[in-house]
Amino acid sequence: MTLLELFQLLKKHLKLVITLPVVCAIAMGIVSFVAMDNTYTATTSMYILAKTDDSGQMSYNDLSASQMLSNDIATLLDSDSVKSGAAKELGLTDLDDYKVS
């Protein structure tokens, strides 16, 4: 099959070539709005480092303290009071309906 024959075949079935993708796009749009639930996710990263001394060097104790502080903050952010406060700010009424991780 040459390129000219391929274009002739596409021209012959032009209605099908145009309508089939449009019908599929409309069907998928309807399925996505009707049958699929909205799922929203968010992630964040936080780096907490202690101040360095005058030489600009960080010791093992500074890094260890920063890691412990990071763990404490992560535990605090995962608490129910922070989650409910965030839900209240966002206008969400029932926190149990939303997966927060």
Res. 16: pLDDT tops 80: yes
What is the Cα 81 distance to its own chain's centre? 24
pLDDT tens sequence across 59-85: 777 778 778 888 888 888 888 888 888
What mean pLDDT value characterizes the chain? 81
Higher-confidence residue of 19 and 83: namely 19
CA 9 to chain CA centroid, nearest Å: 43
The model's pTM is: 0.39
Beta strands in the chain (DSSP E): none
Position 96 confidence tier, pLDDT thresholds 50, 70, 90: low
